[in-house]
Amino acid sequence: QKEVEQDPGPLSVPEGAIVSLNCTYSNSAFQYFMWYRQYSRKGPELLMYTYSSGNKEDGRFTAQVDKSSKYISLFIRDSQPSDSATYLCAMTTGTASKLTFGTGTRLQVTL
């Protein structure tokens, strides 16, 4: 079993929809959680960064962490075609500079 599980999709939604992307993990030592966005044939770029449990909002994006359930989510409101990309969750214990990534979910926002 992988340490981090993420549904690969693809997930197709109409423009303006609310998107929910999720990851589950098994290592209770993970303390820091990130979401990266990766456009086709590009490197990943950091989108959101959260520590421990709770919510963090940045514009149309909200990251949510539930450590008791070992479950993290990324919500995208008012989705746009420019949001079409692969979204990767990543996490770390904070004791070493190593990230563990999910496999990524491919999102397509249609007009």
Looking at the Cβ atoms of 89 and 109, the one nearer to other proteins is 89
Of 33, 20, 26, the closest CA to residue 73 belongs to: 20
Identify residue 8 by its one-letter amino acid code.
P
φ, ψ for residue 81, nearest 5 deg: -55, -30
Least distance from C-beta 38 to other proteins, angstroms? 8
The DSSP secondary-structure symbol of 67 reads T
∠ CA 39-10-67, rounded to 5°: 85
Looking at the Cβ atoms of 21 and 102, the one nearer to other proteins is 102
Identify residue 107 by its one-letter amino acid code.
L
Interface residues with other proteins (CB under 8 A) are: 6, 8, 32, 34, 36, 41-46, 49, 51, 88, 90, 92-99, 101-104
Contact criterion met (CB below 8 Å) for 100 and 92: yes
Least distance from C-beta 51 to other proteins, angstroms? 8
Looking at the Cβ atoms of 14 and 97, the one nearer to other proteins is 97
Least distance from C-beta 73 to other proteins, angstroms? 18
Looking at the Cβ atoms of 42 and 77, the one nearer to other proteins is 42
